[in-house]
Chains A and B, each alone.
Chain A
Amino acid sequence: MTDLLELRNVSVFYGGRPALDSVNLHIPHGAQVAVVGPNGAGKSTLFKAMMGLAPLRTGEILIHGRPPSEYRDPVAYVPQREEVDWRFPVTVFDVVAMGRYGRGRWLKRLSVADRDGIHRSLERLNISDLAQRPIGELSGGQQQRVFLARALAQKPHVLLLDEPFTGVDISTREATLELLSSLKARSVTVLVSTHDLDLASGRFDQVVLLNRCLISAGSPDEVFTEKHLQAAFGGQMVVVNGKAIVVDQCCGAHGPVGGVDGCRCETCNWARGAREDEP
Chain B
Amino acid sequence: MIDWLSEPFVLGFMQRALIASVIVGVVCAVIGCYVILRSMAFLGDALAHAILPGVAVAYLVGVNLLAGALVAGLLVAFGISFVSRAGTIKEDTAIGIFFAAALALGVVLISTMNTYAVDLTHILFGNVLGVTRTDLWISGGLALAVLVVIGLLYKQLLVVSFDPILGRTLGLNTYVLRTGLFLMLAVTIVVSLRTVGVALVAAMLITPPATAYLLTRRLPSMMAVSALVGVVSAVAGLYVSYYLNVASGGAMVLVATGIFLVAFLVAPARGVLWRSHRARVAKAG
Which residues on A are within 8 Å of B, measured CB to CB? Answer: 51-53, 73, 75-77, 79, 83-85, 88-91, 94-95, 98, 101-103, 106-107, 134, 150
Contact = CB atoms under 8 A, between A and B. Distances in A.
Interface in B163-181: 163, 165-166, 168-171
Nearest to B223: A89
Contact of A103 (B152, B158, B170): B170
A107 to B, nearest CB: 7
A77 B167 CA distance: 11
Contact of B218 (A75, A90, A98, A107): A90
B159 interface: yes
B151 to A, nearest CB: 11
B156 A90 contact: no
Interface of chain A, helix or strand or loop or mixed? loop
B84 interface: no
B219 A90 contact: yes
8 contacts: A53-B165, A89-B216, A89-B217, A89-B218, A89-B222, A90-B162, A90-B218, A107-B152
B276 to A, nearest CB: 18
B155 A106 contact: yes
Given A77-B166, A101-B155, A107-B152, A134 B217 contact: yes
B162 A53 contact: no
Nearest to B152: A107
Contacts of A102: 170-171
B218 A91 contact: yes
Contacts of A75: 169
A112 B89 CA distance: 46
Contact of B159 (A52, A89, A101): A101
Nearest to B33: A89
A140 B152 CA distance: 33
Contact of A91 (B156, B159, B170, B217): B217
B161 interface: yes
Nearest to A99: B166
- Most chain-B CB neighbours within 10 Å: which of A79, A85, A106? A106
Contacts of A107: 152
A98 B217 contact: no
Contact of B213 (A77, A85, A89, A94): A89
A79 B218 contact: no
Interface string B205-241: 0000000010011110010000000000000000000
A103 B156 CA distance: 11
B37 interface: yes
Contacts of A84: 163
- Most chain-A CB neighbours within 10 Å: which of B155, B158, B166, B218? B166
Given A90-B219, A150-B166, 12 more contacts: A52-B169, A77-B165, A83-B165, A89-B213, A89-B217, A89-B218, A90-B218, A91-B218, A95-B162, A103-B170, A106-B155, A106-B156
B29 to A, nearest CB: 15
A79 B171 contact: no
- Most chain-A CB neighbours within 10 Å: which of B156, B158, B163? B163
A66 B213 CA distance: 45
Contacts of B219: 89-90, 94
Contacts of A73: 169-170
B171 A98 contact: no
Nearest to B161: A88
A106 to B, nearest CB: 6
A91 B168 CA distance: 21
